[in-house]
Amino acid sequence: MKNSVRVAMLLAFACMSTAFAQSYPNRPVRVIIPWPPGQATDLAARMVSEKLVPVLGQPLVMDNKPGAGGTIGSEFASKQPADGYTLLAGSSGPISISPNVQKVPYDPLKDFATICLLAVNPYVLVVNSSVPAKNVPELIALLRANPGKYSFSSSGSGASSHLASVLFNSMANVSAVHVPYKGSSPSVTDLVSGQVAYTIETVPGIISFVKSGRLRALAVSTAKRSAAMPGLGTIADDLPGYEMSGWIGLMAPAGMPNELRARLSAEIRKILQDPDIRSRFIALGLDPAGNTPEEYAEFLKRQNDRYASIVKQANLKLD
């Protein structure tokens, strides 16, 4: 008798949860974007949100809250009600990198609920066209033969491009001088002019210079070839185990009901298979992704562990 009652209660709870998920949302959903309009996270979140509107039957209101490398908007989102009506366009900067190099007012693994990974943002190892290295092995040989002679740029100490280069230099067992800049644009500008020899940057930051022949692209940083630059091999082809990428994903304040997360994730995964969305993502230098909330949580843990290891290796702290 007791077992029958327990089963009945579980079935009733399951039915209520399903009904709750199906009735969601019944009012507009706010999407916090911790970056200014036009940035990759902003664009990716808007594209997916536009496709979600007819599916959910409610507007998705974009709310840009930029500042402090994405940590201001991320903190704001972490403190909102976990009812599914506030979502966060999360990204590697404020979620995976910043918590490892400075104090932030949130725990990236405890204060957010994962929904779906939208895209992976590959980096590209590029050299100035005058550097006598046509591929990764030649660059490694050149750097090993001239320790401390060549320099590499980054968009700032602790930035993803810096950490990607730290990992590369360490795995390749080479010594080079780090030249940090305040942003990707000046970093790439000095690379193009020959002030520095190489960098590891995002596809949008370097693609025009590669096409014009002013920079030479050697390889992408992802474990597999990137849809954004399919003609390039990977750094891992020559340095097995090398992998570094940015990411963009939809998250929520911790405690969001699993039924809602599962429903949103399923709908977003369908959207990410849309040829129009895929081509628009690739045009931005993004590789479309898509996974379950559980897979996204595992991915997030691996990313944070990877960045923590690199930051420790570089002995880097910004606060």
DSSP class of residue 236 equals G
Q: What is the DSSP letter of 102?
A: S
228 neighbors 287 (Cβ within 8 angstroms): yes
Kindly report, residue by residue over 155-192, the tens digit of the pLDDT.
888 888 899 999 999 999 999 999 999 888 899 999 99
Question: Looking at the domain that runs over 2-120+247-314, which CATH code has it been given?
Answer: 3.40.190.150
- Tell me which fold the domain 122-237 belongs to: D-Maltodextrin-Binding Protein; domain 2 (3.40.190)
Q: How far is CA 4 from the centre of its chain?
A: 47
Q: Across 134-278, where does the E strand assignment appear? A: 151-154, 177-180, 198-202, 215-220, 245-253
**How is the chain split into domains, by residue range?**
2-120+247-314, 122-237
pLDDT of residue 210: 95
Helices then strands, each counted (H, E), the chain: 12, 10
Average pLDDT of the residues in 187-209: 94
Each residue of 103-137: pLDDT tens digit?
A: 999 999 999 999 999 999 999 999 999 999 999 99
- Is 248 a residue whose pLDDT tops 80? yes
Mean pLDDT (whole number) for 241-265: 96
180 DSSP β-pair partners: 154
The pTM is what?
A: 0.85
Percent pLDDT > 70 in the chain is 92
Domains 2-120+247-314 and 122-237 fall in the same CATH topology: yes
CA atoms of 182 and 99, how far apart (whole Å): 20
Averaged pLDDT score across all residues of the chain: 91
